[in-house]
Amino acid sequence: MSEKVEIKTGTKIDREELLKTDISKLAIMTTSPPPSDSVEGQEFRYSAYTRCPWCGHVGWTNGLDSDVYINVICGACGQPFRA
């Protein structure tokens, strides 16, 4: 039995909107989940695979929130999006 992996597709935002973002609330999409020992003692709302709406790259994003959208920087193309 295989597990289906859900990928959350982001929404494009422009650079001006990105500049209004509190840097402490900005997420960066990486190519893979961090090693389990590197997040010890940290609390993330939740983590999931996300897809960049600019280039289609799929990566891992920490700090997603089910109640509000957060701004993310694509780890491949560097474009901002909301997830």
Q: For each of the chain's 83 residues, which pLDDT tens digit applies?
A: 557 888 999 999 998 888 888 888 888 898 877 776 555 545 557 889 999 999 999 999 988 888 888 999 999 999 999 99
| CA atoms within a 13 Å half-sphere pointing along the CA-CB vector of 68 | 6
Contacts of 61 (CB under 8 A, 6+ apart): 8, 27, 28, 29, 30, 47, 48, 49, 50, 72, 83
Q: What is the pLDDT of residue 76?
A: 93
